Amino acid sequence: MIIGSISENLKIEKRVAITPDIIKKYTSLGLEVHLSKNYASHLGINDNQYENEGAKILSNDQVLSNSNAILQMNLPNEEALKKLKENQILIGVLNPYSNSEKLSDINSKKINCFSLELLPRITRAQSMDILSSQANLAGYKAVVDSFAYFQKAIPMMMTAAGTISAAKVLIVGAGVAGLQAIATAKRMGAIVFATDVRLASKEQVESLGGKFLTVEGAENLETDGGYAKEASEDFKQKQENLLKETLKKIDIVICTALIPGKKAPTIIKKDMIDVMPSGSVIYDLAASQGGNTELTKVDEVIESNGVKIMGEANILNRLAFSASNLYAKNVFNFISNLFDKEKKAFEINMEDEIINKTLVK
């Protein structure tokens, strides 16, 4: 059985699904690995490194033609999709909410598509959890980048010439990205506040040294799967009032709030940005899904009333090497669950919750 992966569109995605250190794990399962030429050369990984670990380097067409399972980061382009064959398996972050028509066409050709962002939040799936591994890095990078834009020192500094106050940071959304953002900002000496619609996150925020902002009369807006769900209009208004007051003293805001399959909630309005100190910075990790602020524009730095607002379509393109390493391990763990070692074949067992939830139907 053969697994393969072709190059991503480097204009939008620099991460890869297979790294050299994971090849031998695949071969130990009895799988052969085929990759396209210059697969990860943009990350400083040449083809020889893959070949030395046992992979075969071929053309895109050969990889697509030979592979029983194709492992990608994103949904391949139209040209590649046309070359997929019946009974092949496609695995990646396929975004079925926005790619429903394309995936429906692929399914009609009897190609099994697994979208890894649909993994259930169960203990057995933790090692495959691509949302957590990638969000963890995104939270870290958002803090580092926003601090680079901020033109003041972050920690409190006491000098003979006087004292510099510590920067005040607000994290909007205390999921995996938000918690890593809290930890990173604290390590760099900032005073950190955080807010989330899920009351269960209060303890996690406080364990990292952050102060949790509680909305009066808040209800716990958490799904059974552990994700945030949409808030009521009453909650949104109370949250808005609390944030507007808090933002008057905040230097840096990291926005991480997302609702799976929906546009990101607009949490920070223009009038709230207007009360922030001039020179403040907002980094919006939800930019690619509409943004958590009213002014966010993807891949642009917007300035409003002296406040810089930024958000990239894919922040992990600038941490692509580290992100690829984690993603490749997540995908290997998923493949290990999907591949039957005794039968030496991929087994789509619909009674397995992991397989059932990730298969795009």
CA dist 165 and 297 (Å) reads 31
Say what angle helices 20-29 and 320-338 make with each other, to 10 degrees.
10
CA dist 65 and 70 (Å) reads 10
**Which stretch of DSSP H or E encloses residue 62?**
helix 60-66
- Residue 68: CB atoms within 10 Å: 17
3-state secondary structure at position 333: helix
Phi, psi values for residue 309, rounded to 5°: -120, 125
User: What tokens appear for 193 in the block?
Assistant: 């506040």
Active site residues: 121, 126, 129, 132, 227
Q: Which residues contact 162 (CB under 8 A, 6 or more apart)?
A: none
Q: Are 34 and 2 in contact (CB under 8 A)?
A: yes
Outline where DSSP puts E strands in 116-259.
Answer: 157-159, 162-164, 168-172, 191-195, 211-212, 252-255
Burial status of residue 267 (CB atoms within 10 A of its CB: 0-12, 13-18, 19 or more): buried
